[in-house]
């Protein structure tokens, strides 16, 4: 049985070589895409249906010195995923053992609600196929005792994979070490959206990397999924009955008004 896993990315070790993105495409048979430079040095600016992970580069200026901040983007595989709550057809599920959030392509209708609900805008819809795609966490590799493709190919060792508790302890230990020279360093993901399967050691605030500080599911989404949708089976007929009752009530009032008008005219 696959136990709960975690991927720990130490951004202080990332060199932005993009080997992780290449490995992801190679393992998942994803085609190359035509890109263009962003700010003169970054080739990918967002997810696509066939790009499930990419590196963003951010210039950081402090004390008249410029340093780079690199970030590897992919699905966070949240413990409490907003995409799962938003899916109207039950195509998104959570694997209790590994902790991954997966899309069943047989059920997916490509509505895009998951993209809107995701605080990071991760899932992307192929409008031609009417299917939505995102990082799978390399669940097929993990279930066969292999590292995710991105972790396997990362030469600087910035991406580490293992048992959840072991990786979390390693992340906290590394954070304590890095904070000695980078006091703004912090972990990102371990306390977000119920705790994410992919967590990061950041050298600076999340905003520096273009990340939301406190990502969360919208209140309306929680209301829909937790309260309204479970009772949809009887709310629909109840609404129908109310509409029918309103129709007959309105008709009866009109008839009563009509008779009243006739009586008044007769007098």
Domain map of the chain by residue range?
5-217, 222-266
What are the structure tokens assigned to 148, written together? 């995710």
Of residues 220 and 140, the one with the higher pLDDT is: 140
User: Taking the complete model, does pTM exceed 0.75, yes or no?
Assistant: yes
Q: Are 146 and 152 a contacting pair, CB within 8 Å?
A: yes
pLDDT value, residue 249: 52
Tell me the pLDDT tens digit for each residue of 51-102: 999 999 998 888 888 889 999 999 999 999 999 999 999 999 998 788 899 9
Residue 78 DSSP SS3: strand
What are the structure tokens assigned to 173, written together? 């230990």
What are the structure tokens assigned to 171, written together? 């992340």
Where in the chain does DSSP place strands (E)?
A: 5-10, 54-62, 65-73, 92-94, 101-103, 124-126, 131-133, 159-163, 186-188, 198-202
Classify domain 5-217 at the CATH topology level.
Answer: Alpha-Beta Plaits (3.30.70)
The arithmetic mean of pLDDT across residues 259-266, rounded, is 52
pLDDT value, residue 60: 87
Tell me the pLDDT tens digit for each residue of 27-60: 999 999 888 788 767 788 899 999 999 999 998 8
The rounded percent of the chain whose pLDDT value lies above 70 is: 80
Nearest to 2 by CA among 95, 101, 136: 95
Tell me the pLDDT tens digit for each residue of 95-122: 878 889 999 999 999 999 999 999 999 9
């Amino acid at each position: 049985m696959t136990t709960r896993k975690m991927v720990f990315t130490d951004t202080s070790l990332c060199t932005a070589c993009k080997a992780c993105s290449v490995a992801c495409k190679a393992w998942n048979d994803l085609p190359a895409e035509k890109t263009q430079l962003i700010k003169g040095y970054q080739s990918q600016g967002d997810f696509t249906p066939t790009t499930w992970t990419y590196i963003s580069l951010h210039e950081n200026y402090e004390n008249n010195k410029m340093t780079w901040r690199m970030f590897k983007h992919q699905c966070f595989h949240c413990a409490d995923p907003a995409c799962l709550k938003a899916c109207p057809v039950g195509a998104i599920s959570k694997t209790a053992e590994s902790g991954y959030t997966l899309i069943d392509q047989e059920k997916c209708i490509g509505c895009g609600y998951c993209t809107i609900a995701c605080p990071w805008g991760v899932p992307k819809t192929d409008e031609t196929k009417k299917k939505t795609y995102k990082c799978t966490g390399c669940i097929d590799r993990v279930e066969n005792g292999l590292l995710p493709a991105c972790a396997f190919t990362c030469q600087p060792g910035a991406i580490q994979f293992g048992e959840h508790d072991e990786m979390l302890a390693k992340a906290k230990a590394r954070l304590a070490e890095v904070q000695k020279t980078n006091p703004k360093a912090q972990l990102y993901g371990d306390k977000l959206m119920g705790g994410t399967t992919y967590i990061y050691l950041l050298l600076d605030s999340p905003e520096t990397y273009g990340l939301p500080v406190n990502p969360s599911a919208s209140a309306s989404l929680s209301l829909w999924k937790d309260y309204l949708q479970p009772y949809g089976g009887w709310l629909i007929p109840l609404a129908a009955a109310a509409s029918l009752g309103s129709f007959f009530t309105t008709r009866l009032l009109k008839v009563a008004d009509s008779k009243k008008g006739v009586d008044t005219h007769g007098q």
